[in-house]
Structure 1
Amino acid sequence: MFNKLLIDGKDAYAEYGVFVEQYGYKALVQMPSFKKLESTEWDEYDGEETDLTSPILDTKTFAIQFCITEIDMVDNLFELLSDKSYHTFHFAELSKSYKLRLVGNPSRSALIHLGKISVNFADDFPPVVLNDFINEDDLDDSNIILNHKPYATAPAGFKQKGYELDDIDFSRFGIYVLDGTDDNIEKAPNVRANLTVNVKNSPGVVYDNDWVMYKSKDVGLKLLIHAPSISDFWQRWYSFWAVVLKPESRKLYIDNPIDEFECHYKSNSVTTFDIRRNGSVWCEFTTTLTFTNCRPLGNYFVLVTEDGEIVITEPGSEDVEINLKLHE
């Protein structure tokens, strides 16, 4: 446990008897949400129009669970964290340092000398995708500049294809798309409420029957990174976010069924983050995208000849009728 966590250069295990419990990095790793985006709904259009000229990430507050080997030493840890707002935490297993701010201590449990403690921190220095509105000189050293590129081809042995973000297949990020994602994508958005008149002395309501318009919808992409090392994990993680967090909207393409959606980032949650004994990293996470306009549409069929030429008929008696029947 020695030297796995350094706080301002001091070994947290040797000095304060604490270490991060197993699977305790997931809240630290996950990406914060965008700061509030300005959006407008137009009565005559589905979805919403969102200003994505210069989206930037907000601060995030999260908890880290620590195991305690000597309960009497914990107060020394809080004395250190109270001498100023920001402290540098170096997590050796992550090969990464963070500048964090103490927020609170929601729980503490102890049995004789041992125990567990939950500490809330704020990370005020999120990763940044540079654009015309951000001056790199104004950034803190703790802000990661997201200029990472996806792999030229999928990693060796990577077998999944068919999901693309801005024409980049997810395999080039080294990311698998998990079960449940397709269902989330294909579900219909909620209907935007029309003008409704509710009169006290009249049963029911009078509802505008002229049209049905749909709201935007939030879609959770269930994803997995299984990287052979922590350095490979960061390459895959940051190359993905370097695309997701760019200004303007993104294009998400799926090939079963073939469809493409205009969307933008909303939030991220990491459900599993495990650094295994062989050094490989298993990270399951959900990236929530807002689909800004996704009216459900019926299926249309095109009649073609054996040579692949589309058959075009004139309106009238020459129309071709195609009847589809479900298999019994």
Structure 2
Amino acid sequence: MISLFALILGFLLDLCFGDPHWMPHPIRLIGWLIQKLERLLRRLFPKTEKGELWAGGALVVAVLAVSVSVPVLLLLLANWVSPWLRLILETMMCYQLLATKCLKDESMKVYHKLAKGDIPGARHMLSMIVGRDTERLQADGIARAAVETVAENTSDGVIAPLLFMTVGGAPLGFFYKAVNTMDSMVGYKNEKYLYLGRCAARLDDLLNFVPARLSAWLMILSARMNGMDARNAGRIYRRDRRNHESPNSAHTEAVCAGALRVQLAGDAWYFGVLHHKKTIGDALRPIEAQDIIRANQLMMGTAFLALLLCSAIKGAVLALIFLLF
């Protein structure tokens, strides 16, 4: 019951306050741990394909062991002192595991620059939230990249953490975020991380399998609630949900593209190299800065629907346990 209240309160705190830069954040600490362990493991394991695969596996085990055991121990200690203290602590953990307001605020910084016609400023703001090169992008490319980021991160920044916290409270939420952070830091298919990051990347794909697909269907419902083209969203989802190297990333992007009646994805530059990618959606109209606002409306609606679903599931399970025992 405490975990359910903590989840709901944490969600509301995230909507109100987002991610203040002055506040110490556990995900930044996990990122710091990943960096330190990567350097150590590269020295300890042979610089061969097999050696880097083993190093990557050791990285995953070590990071997950720390990321889960620390919150478990803190919550046990807090509960020993007082259930109220545990509620407060787990609420803060749930709050910091979600990125709803942060995702909206950072993407809206891109929108405001575009609305003023400040293309260099929009490129700079976009570079804070995407991994691609932004120097070559014009207004439509900037808007497209921002919309894609909101759509993709609706799943792994909001819905997936909610699902994992519903199942296992804040500790399982940290398990998911640790894997997701490792994937974002070492999961690249380049010379440096092709083998060392493979274990983290594969585990991230596995953990996001269900959240990505649930997020897509909730986003279709959100499109209907927001007066967008839900029928086209469902059509594009069924057609284009596999148009991505990742088995999960295109699901919410496809729904968003269909709901907004625009085309997303396509070729992009990363670290000075042009990567050819499939497009997602149909260009029924040109993409515009206003689509960033629309994408955020879709994301917020999806987040609220997910919270209702997770709360209902958690409440039903708790009620069943109470009746049985």
Normalised by the length of structure 2, the TM-score is 0.28
Larger Rg: 1
Which protein has the bigger strand share? 1
Which protein has the bigger helix share? 2
Normalised by the length of structure 1, the TM-score is 0.28
Higher RCO, 1 or 2 (CA under 8 Å, sep at least 6)?
2
